[in-house]
Every structure is written in structure tokens, then in C-alpha cells.
Chains A and B, each alone.
Chain A
Amino acid sequence: MNERENILGRIREALRFPARRPGSHGVTEGKTALPTVAERREVLPPVSSSFDAQMALFARNCAELRADFKLCRDADEVIAELARLREAEGWSRIASHRGPQTESAVTSFGLPVLWTERGYDKHELERCAAGITACDALVAQTGTVVVSTRTGGGRALNVLPPHHVVLATRDQLVPDLPAAFATLKERYGADYPSMISFITGPSRTGDIERILVLGAHGPKKLTILCV
């Protein structure tokens, strides 16, 4: 408590003298209002208002980020896609969480599934080939998938297994980052999950000679299947 008061006291003391406004030459008076949503939209990369154009932008961004994105006709196509991945990568064990998007698709396999939503053994999760989760939103502007502890089966499921598969729906697509934050606020209000992650492409690093390598610590592959 003591240091808290000390530090806050020093801050109050320090702020008695006003500082120059950013971008002005010496002006300390007046009011700087915080930017509004509309103002931020005006400066960020523009996004079309048409749904199809937004979907196309999301797909383009995914391709650039080396994430695999597929727009599926129906739930059956999603299952077929998952079966294809299982074959191609030889999955023997996968992890997921129970929920409307994931449960039926994941159980259709006959593979052993580690369900995480009620707690799990982290060593077991580490041995799973893929983590299959739902999400909160897809952001067209940046090719981002928003997951949280609630939609992503906890904190580790969507980042520990080498392949993260996201099962999303068309209505989860939002145009831009301001819309993504508005969606989160609307959905969770005062009761936010303890973790919310904006995932943009598979895990990557450029730490060795700035050469891009995928799968530094998190998933080497990110697949987004959208119905």
C-alpha cells in the first residue's frame, strides 16, 4: 500500500506542470479528445462494406500470412476437410473443447480426443497433433482470428499443438479491428475471459538473419474452416 501511495503521489506532483500537446509547437492548453471509432476507421487500412469483398480480403490476408483458409458449403464439407487433414498429417490424437461448433465435427472421426474445457494434463496436450477450436471473430482487415479462453478451449489448446484448426462461421466475420473490439465488448461486457488472443497467421520468427521461419513455438500450421 505504501509504495502505491508513494508512486501515485509522485505522479500527481509531476503532473502539476502541463506538457506540450502532441504535434503542436508548445501548446499546452486546450483539450485533446480521445480518438473516436470513426476517426480510427478513417486512418486504418480501408475495408469494403460488402460481405463478399470482406471475405475475399480475409482470404487474401490468410494466403499472405501462410494460413490455410477454406470457405465451406456446409458442416459436411468441414468434416471432409478435417478428414483430409487427418490423412495428410497422420493425426493419431487430437485435442478440442466441447461446443456447438466443434463437438460434432471432432467426434465424427473416431480418433481419441483430449477435451480441454474441464481441465486436462498438459503433457498429454503436448502430444496432440492438432488443436481444434471455435473462435470469437474473424477480422477481414488483418486476416486475424480472435479466440478467448471461452471460445478457444482455454489458453493452451490454441497455441500448444503444432496445428491449430479453427472452425468458424460466416457471421463471425467482422470488417476491421475497431469492429472486433466492439464485438468483444458487446459479448463480454464486464465479464471478460482471462485471455483474449488476436491470432494472425501461424507462429513465426525472423530472429535468425530476419529469415521467416514458421512454427517457432506455437503452431506451425493454422487452418481456418468457415461455414
Chain B
Amino acid sequence: MNTAAKQFVRDATRLSADLRHRGLIQTALGKYEVKRDEMKARFHDWERARQLAADTKWEAINHLDQYLDQFVRQLEARGTKVHWASSARQARDLIRGILAARGARTVVKSKAMTAEEIHLNEDLERAGFTVVESDLGEFIVQLRQEPPYHIVFPAMHLTRGEIKDTFEARLHDAPSDTPEELTMVARRVLRQKYVEADAGITGANFAVAETGMISITENEGNARLTAALPTTMITLLGIEKIVPRLEDLALLLPLLSVAGAGQLLSGYNTLYGGPRQPGEPDGPEEYHVVLLDNGRTAYLADAEQRDALHCIRCGACLNVCPIFRNVGGHTYGTTYSGPIGSVITPNLRGLPDWKHLSYASSLCGACTETCPVKIDLAHHLLQNRRNASRVKPSWWQKLAFKLFAPVANSQFLWRWLVTKGGRVGWVFHRLVLGTRFDPAYAWTRTRDLPPIAPQTFREWWRARQNGSAEAGNGGNAAKP
């Protein structure tokens, strides 16, 4: 196993046995589920809404060159400076360059997964800039020097007590551990930062080609302030965020809010189309949009997986995933966790190192069911498994399948194996069950092995035909 896979197994083993962690996540997500279902029910036709959203994103992604070009022309026409970055390094260099040219020292940031993706904070701090995360959850994990736990709820894994301790240690200000008062501490600290900051950096949820605008969804108003007060504003945008028309947001915004946070519409959904325009009282003097590729065009080239670029980063697939809910967000060791992270990471960062994430799934399909833009996540996980075994099948798997194939292909051998062979094996298996000599140790170490049924289906069926079904094990199921 490579290091990423070892780390995954180690952390997953620890966290899935951590009842406190599980309790925290289950309560948080339980609340989310109730609200989400309530809001879904208000839709006239939620399933059809998902299909329309998927159609919209399909159109955008499959004509990305045209829409991107249109988006950029519209933005530039109103004074925005647009930059293109093929790689994470280029994006970091560009942003550092913009800040340096503007003479900026302090930067407020509103939540941006693209910035996590390119490790922007570390880079800016190394270059001597002060960077403050303004989203409350991000602010908390930044103080703790942790990556966000979840793409929408970054501090979901922390109790109020832990947050109080963090504030005490880092801000010397924690009057109590009520969420209310802790939030007010952050509010006080961050207000001053907004007013003083030289530059604001944001992400974006959508980029509207038709009008050349970006759209940011948030609840706190921190992105609003980030875009209002500093004299320089920078938006770091993945090129896949494009939607064709402004009116498409009439559907996508509520869909994102319901799937992401169980709200019909999040607190602030804001469109930005440029720097301060003539006649406007405030807003940044300069507005820069940095378009980030960083592997997205390579992803686009895989027609089978292309729809993963439809993702609107709502986090719904994380919330419903039984694996995520047990192993937690940090275990993945990736920028994007949960099903969508398990789908895209191996393709962005390399199958050999990340293929283990394709197995971080029970294949229950809950992610596919819930995704508001209908990405077939469960299927993509299977495709990743297939691709990984094509790249480099392990020798023992090859051997196992070599031995298994003739047995499975022969009626006689198969019937022997599942009846007599199985029963003989069962007797011997009992001797080593749960010990290291057990060939099924990986399973039996932590789980029960269900006993082999005393009768096969065929035997039971034959017995039933002979009129003695009641004698069989499955008697009650056989009643007409």
C-alpha cells in the first residue's frame, strides 16, 4: 500500500471507532437532512428540477470553449482583468503578482475550495502576506491550522468546547462556549479586518457567460464584505463553473441551497460583474478574475467521466455517504472529500496513488441519488476501479481470478463448491476463524461471518417441488 492509502486506512480505522466523532457528525447531518427534505418537498418537482439542472450544466461543459470565451469578453468589457492559469503554480504566481503590484499586505478571504486546491494561503503567508479567512468555519479551522473538514461545513467536526479552547488559545477571547457568543467573538475580530484589508480574495459558485458575472452563495455576508471594502478584489474560479445564461441561476441557486444546506435559498446569493463602475459609491478599484485549469481540461477529455465537471460543490453527496459519515472528511487526505472527491481525485492526481478512494464506497448509490446535477457518482467509482485494475492489476488478484474463473464457468465445479465443498470448508474454517491463519482474516478480524445456509436454493426448490417445502429453512418465504 502506498502512503496515501495507508494513511486512509489508519485514520478510517481510528475514526470509525470514535463514537464521539460519529455522534457529532450524525447530529449535524441529522439536522441537515430534516431541513433538506422539508425544502425538497416544497419543490413542485424536485426530480425534474435535477434533470433540468443537469441539462444546463451539460450544455455549458460540452460547449465550454464558447461559453468561457463569452464570459471573458463580457467581463473584460466592463473593466475586469482576466487571467488564465493552467496550473496551481501559475495561479499562485498570478495572485502574488496582482497583490504585489497593488502594494497589498493584508488579505481577507471568503471561502474558496479552489484556493484550498492550490494551497493559496500557505503560499501567500510564505511570501509575507497576512491572510485572514472570513467564513466562520474556515476562520476556526485556520486558527487550528487544519484543512477544512467538509467543503460546505468546514468546522463540522468540532464541538463548541473545542472551538472555545481554540479561541482562548489563539485570540485570548472566549467569554463562554455558547455558539452565539463564539460567533460574536469572530464577528468582532473579523469586522476590523475587513475595514483594514487591502485586498479580498473569493471563490465563486457560478460564472454566467451571458452577462459576464460571477455568483457567490453564502450565509454569513463575509463574501459580501470581502467584495465591498478592500480596494482590490480577486476571484479564483475553476473553469467548469460556467453556466450559459443569467436566468439559469433561477433554478441552480435554490438547487444548490437545498442540496447543500437544506435552505430554500441561502442568505446571500450575489452577482459581481466588475470593479466599481462609474457612478457607484464603493467596491474595488480593480477586479481580477483568475481562471484555473489545474487538470480540468484533462478531465474534460475523458468523455466517460466528463459529467463530474458538472459538480456545483454542494456537498450533498458527502452528507449522505455512509463512508464519509463514518471516516470523516480529513481521512480522505484530499481537497475534495466524500464521493465526489473519491471520483475526481484519482483522475486529477493519479490513479496509482489514489485508487484506494474508489473503494471508499459501499456502492449503495446514495450519492448518485442525491446529486442535484445528477452526476452518476457511484458508477464513476466503479469506472475508476476498472481503470485502476487496467493500469496495474495486483498479482494476487490476477491469480485469484485465474483460479476462480474455471470454477465459476463450470456448472459441475461450481455446484460442488457451494454445496459439499463449502460445507467441508466451513468445518475447517471454524478451526482458524478470526485468527491470522484464516484466509478471510481481513473480513473476520472485525466482522461476523454469516453461517452457510444448510440448504442451497436449488436443494430447497427441489424439496419444495416434492411437497415438503415446510421442512426447509425458507419455508415461510415460499408460501404463495
Cβ–Cβ contact A159 & B247, under 8 A: no
Please judge, given known A-B contacts A194-B78, A208-B160, whether A213 and B179 are in contact too, CB under 8 Å.
Answer: yes
Q: Quick one: which of B52, B221, B265 contacts A142, CB cutoff 8 A?
A: B265
B282 to A205, Cβ gap below 8 A?
no
Residues of A close to B52: CB separation below 8 A? 35, 39-40, 43
Given contacts A43-B49, A44-B49, A182-B247, whether A192 and B265 have CB atoms under 8 Å apart is no
Q: How far is the CB of B107 from chain A (nearest CB, A)?
A: 16
| In the complex, residue of chain A having the shortest beta-carbon distance to the beta carbon of B51 | A23
Question: In the docked arrangement, what's the CA distance between A39 and B250, Å?
Answer: 11
Cβ-defined contact, A181 with B267, below 8 A? no
Q: How far is the CB of B431 from chain A (nearest CB, A)?
A: 48
Cα separation A18 to B62 with both chains bound (whole Å): 8
Q: For the side of the interface on B, what is the size category?
A: 35 or more
B251 at the interface (CB under 8 A from A): yes
Judge whether A14 and B228 touch: CB under 8 Å.
no
Residues of chain A lying within 8 A (CB to CB) of residue B160: 208-209
Interfacial chain B residues near A61, Cβ < 8 Å: 264
Cβ contact of B276, chosen from A11, A34, A194, A217, cutoff 8 A? A194
- Over the window 26-48 of chain A, the binary record of Cβ atoms lying under 8 Å from chain B Cβ atoms (1 yes, 0 no) is 00100011110101101111100
Interface SS, B side? helix
- Set of chain B residues within 8 Å of A3, measured between Cβ atoms: 83-86, 90
Kindly report which residue of chain A lies nearest to residue B300, judged by CB atoms.
A14
A6 at the B interface (CB under 8 A)? yes
Report A-chain residues with C-beta under 8 Å of the C-beta of B221. 159, 203, 216-219
The complex places the Cα of A84 from the Cα of B366 at a distance, in Å, of 51
* Contact for A34 among B78, B86, B244, B310, CB less than 8 A: B244
Select from chain B the residue with minimum beta-carbon distance to A139. B265
Whether B27 is near chain A, meaning CB under 8 Å from some CB there, is yes
Instruction: Point out the residue from B65, B134, B186, B244 that lies within 8 Å of A12, measured CB to CB.
Output: B65
Interface 9-residue window, one of A72-80, A86-94, A114-122: A114-122
Cβ contact within 8 Å between B267 and A199:
yes
Taking a contact as CB atoms closer than 8 A, the residue among A7, A22, A216 that contacts B55 in the complex is: A22
Establish whether residues B268 and A184, one from each chain, have CB atoms under 8 Å apart when the complex forms. Answer: no
- Does A177 lie within 8 Å of B254, measured CB to CB? yes
Known: A40-B251, A118-B281. A34 touches B245 (CB 8 A): yes
**A195 interface residue, CB < 8 Å from B?**
yes
A185 interface hit (Cβ, 8 Å): yes
* A and B contact pairs by CB, cutoff 8 A, 14 listed: A6-B86, A10-B301, A15-B300, A20-B307, A35-B56, A40-B250, A43-B44, A45-B264, A122-B229, A155-B283, A159-B225, A181-B250, A199-B267, A208-B155
Chain A residues in contact with chain B, CB under 8 A? 3-4, 6-8, 10-15, 17-23, 28, 32-35, 37, 39-40, 42-46, 61, 97, 116-120, 122-123, 126, 141-144, 149-150, 153-157, 159-160, 176-178, 180-182, 184-185, 192-211, 213, 215-219
Extra A-B contacts (6), CB below 8 Å, given A22-B58, A23-B374, A200-B268: A18-B303, A181-B249, A207-B137, A207-B153, A209-B28, A217-B220
**Chain B residues in the interface with A (C-beta under 8 A):** 24, 27-28, 31-32, 42-46, 48-49, 51-52, 54-59, 61-65, 68-69, 72, 78, 83-86, 90, 134-137, 140, 153-156, 158-160, 163, 179-180, 182-184, 186-187, 190-191, 194-195, 211, 213, 219-222, 224-225, 227-229, 239, 244-251, 253-254, 261, 263-277, 280-283, 291, 293, 297-298, 300-301, 303-304, 306-307, 310, 373-374
